[in-house]
Amino acid sequence: MQAHICILFLLPLMCIPEPVHCSINPCCYFPCEKKGICVRFGYDEYECDCTGTGYYGKNCTIPEFWTKVRLFYKPSPAFYHYVLTRFKWLWDIINHTFLRDLLMKTVLTVRANLIPSPPTYNSDYGYISWEAYSNVSYYTRVLPPVPEDCPTPMGTKGKQELPDPQIIAERFLLRRKFIPDPRGTNLMFAFFAQHFTHQFFKTHGRMGRGFTRALGHGVDLGHIYGDSLQHQHALRLFQDGKMKYQIINGEIYPPTVNDAAINMTYPPHIPDEKRFAMGQEVFGLLPGLLMYATIWLREHNRVCDILKAEHPTWDDEQLFQTARLILIGETIKIVIEDYVQHLSGYYLKLRFDPELLFGVQFQYRNRIAVEFSHLYHWHPLMPDRFHIQGDTYNYQNFLFNSSILLDYGVEALVDSFSKQIAGQIGGGKNMNHNILKVPVLVIMESRLLRLQPFNEYRKRFGLKPYKSFQELTDDKEIAAGLQELYGDIDALEFYPGLMLEKPQPNGNFGESIVEIGSPFSLKGLMGNPICSPEYWKPSTFGGTIGFDIVKTASLQKLVCLNVKKCPYVAFHIPKKQSSDESTPTGKEPSIEL
């Protein structure tokens, strides 16, 4: 009864007089600003640890002198996004001067410094602990979980019960009509995003939702080589450093599970001879993932041939290990200079050069955060149909159809996926009904892990919290629906907030995905060991030839050096092509799976 009285009549951060003790944790109000850490004392007292934040005061809200100076000159994220995505003539000049490297260094350091290193929290420890640091079986977390003893699921704001995730998905995320990405992002990009991120987003469901099986926590190419030594050995040829493969119609493809005895995720009716064996067990799901797995397999074996010719005395193990380091370097360069470049829309030409950070305080270690995993569920990219060389496939005859790769070949898939536009990620109402279960599961998982509200993450990454649902989205229907279901903008959950935020002008998603996601991405890429002064040298990559493979890597080279005829390949549709996803491309074939 006393606890009930406290919940009804408690004023912010006050409790009814002794001898009745209030059971509400004052940290449920998230009182500490500017990265301050809330520590509870007694029943109803708290203290904000403002150490190293540049602020002081009870709630870390009073800026120190140099913080005031920095804030006075610091532009808002919206301002520098505006500048970076306009004035192309000016950026064409800057990109050919020393200012490019200076700006790139600033981008890398400012972004990476937003991610705590070493890691701080995990889903079992909402406070600093040795376990949260040392146990790499956990995803890390930027913000601690919402305390378990709060009056509402999101702290103190909002309703006593959160809305049904299925209702959220159907009302706000389900596609009514395909909305193409205004920037021209294509399916080549969409499948790359899936393929690339599945090396470090591998939730270990059997242990718990806060655990990961990707213990490398970054770009280790576990999706190519497997996430265990046993998996890797099953895929290796143990000759000249190469991976196992099969020849079909004169071209290299991944082996089947008959030749590489590993467990791959396929429906029971798919025979073993149609089950490709790859580093990631779920890549049989989509032909686009099979395509990338095939390209990287060919690239690994191609690099091994180059190394073998350069170093005839090297044994299989050294050839394999060095080729893997080269492919890691290629991946990072492609991600920064092709993938992130397209994603950002910046006219500043991004550059992968680890030497930019030499001499700067920087930790070459990374931990994948659960918030990053949730943020990267970009399933609105997927269209309603898939167009390949004049044929159209729906989801039923596209999923788990390995024959598509063999029937059309890598060149045809690359060309087709590069010319089909992907969907807009942000803004809502653009997710195909076949994959609507994904956001439902993400929201359910976020509740199990007690992720803090969306606005708390905006504040953590230097963004102003939204004051209303109307400010979050331009869609009046979505705003009214969110108000009805959540009751308070400060109770809005992390993933719905990211997906429903109004997209930036001519952008694929809103400000929050950019400002929260890019620090995770750049820290993970540049925090890789190969970017450190100890690794970034020719000898690591087998000499100048191997080092040059890394330094000159690009998406186009990756594809065109591993196919017979170079197709159109990019992360955006051809500039003159229509952006209508439903452009007729032929009849829908009947296919037996």
User: Contact, 141 vs 123, CB < 8 A?
Assistant: yes
Which distant-in-sequence residues (6+ apart) come within 8 Å of 506 by Cβ? Answer: 85, 182, 183, 345
Of the candidates 266, 376, 486, 495, the residue annotated as catalytic is 376
Of the candidates 198, 377, 379, 572, the residue annotated as catalytic is 198
* Nearest residue to 549 (alpha-carbon basis) of 236, 330, 238: 330
* Cα torsion angle, 411, 413, 414, 415, sign: positive
Question: How far is Cα 402 from Cα 203, in angstroms, rounded to an integer?
Answer: 25
Which distant-in-sequence residues (6+ apart) come within 8 Å of 228 by Cβ? Answer: none
Would residue 198 show up in a list of annotated catalytic residues for this protein? Answer: yes
**Site of tokens 């109803």:** 44
Question: How far is Cα 158 from Cα 154, in angstroms, rounded to an integer?
Answer: 7
* Nearest residue to 452 (alpha-carbon basis) of 367, 369, 365: 369
Would residue 376 show up in a list of annotated catalytic residues for this protein? Answer: yes
In 320-390, beta strands by DSSP E: 386-388
Cis before 145 (ω within 30): no
Residue 55, beta-bridge partner list: 63
Which distant-in-sequence residues (6+ apart) come within 8 Å of 203 by Cβ? Answer: 139, 209, 211, 212, 213, 373, 445
Q: Determine phi and psi for 189, rounding to 5 degrees.
A: -70, -45
- If you write DSSP's letter for every residue of 61-125 in order, what string do you get? -EE-HHHHHHHHHPPPHHHHHHHHTS-HHHHHHHTTSHHHHHHHHHHHHHHHTTS-SS--B-SS-
List the structure tokens of 489: 């903008």
List the structure tokens of 582: 């439903």
User: Contact, 246 vs 253, CB < 8 A?
Assistant: yes
**Site of tokens 């890019």:** 518
Question: How far is Cα 445 from Cα 196, in angstroms, rounded to an integer?
Answer: 22
Contacts of 206-209 with CB under 8 Å at 24 or more apart are 207/137, 208/123, 209/123, 209/445, 209/448, 209/449
Angle at 107 between CA 105 and CA 111, to 5 degrees: 120
The amino acid at residue 593 is: L
Neighbours of 377 (CB within 10 A): 19
CA of residue 114 relative to chain centroid, distance: 16
Which are the catalytic amino acids? 198, 376
